[in-house]
Chain A
Amino acid sequence: DQQVKQNSPSLSVQEGRISILNCDYTNSMFDYFLWYKKYPAEGPTFLISISSIKDKNEDGRFTVFLNKSAKHLSLHIVPSQPGDSAVYFCAASDAGKSTFGDGTTLTVKP
């Protein structure tokens, strides 16, 4: 029972272009959605979150969009930089407990 899914295992984009990472969920009880970034041999690092009552949250180059009717969220990174190359996890929270997707590996080519 995979409640949070990231259907694209990998994504490759050119430096300066937009990266769009997608995530789908099934549980309507989730009240917050989060994105984390993970480099090899390190723990995930929190990037940005969005409440279920909002449809957009922006922080610098990172914007998260939430479509509740479609149970879908996306992370936009613009412009993409080589240092953004990492594994990105989306997570959905219910009463403080986060359920994670299985990650998308983003490669940003110089």
Chain B
Amino acid sequence: DTAVSQTPKYLVTQMGNDKSIKCEQNLGHDTMYWYKQDSKKFLKIMFSYNNKELIINETVPNRFSPKSPDKAHLNLHINSLELGDSAVYFCASSQEAERIGYTFGSGTRLTVV
């Protein structure tokens, strides 16, 4: 009974392709996030949605487009993939983020070849 589930877990694709990563949470949380963990292990926020509304949009290339059809889902679509997009992407959700933190998914390892 996974709280935050991401699919796929692994994704290997060629440069220039378009791909999507899906995320779903069954916790009833209002806020969802996408974080990117690069090769230096930093976790950097990309986007945050609260009840389907975009509230955080960090400096991310326009090739990345989040979509939240409802508050339980936050998908990430990436166009024209580049080698530098290779990373682990984590989805997370929260209700009282400061006090009890985020609940993360297990990550999607994206490799662009």
A residues engaging B (CB < 8 A)?
A: 31-32, 34, 36, 41-47, 49, 51, 87, 89, 91, 93, 96-100, 102-103
Contacts and interface: CB of A to CB of B under 8 A. Distances in A.
B78 interface: no
A47 B40 CA distance: 22
Contacts, number: 59
A47 B100 CA distance: 8
A49 B98 contact: yes
Given A43-B107, A98-B102, A93 B97 contact: yes
A41 B106 contact: yes
Contacts of A34: 98, 101
Interface residues of B, number: 25
A97 B48 contact: yes
Contact of A43 (B4, B44, B94, B97): B4
Contacts of B48: 96-97
Given A43-B90, A43-B106, A97 B45 contact: yes
B34 interface: no
Contacts of A43: 4, 90, 92, 104-107
Nearest to A33: B98
A97 B97 CA distance: 8
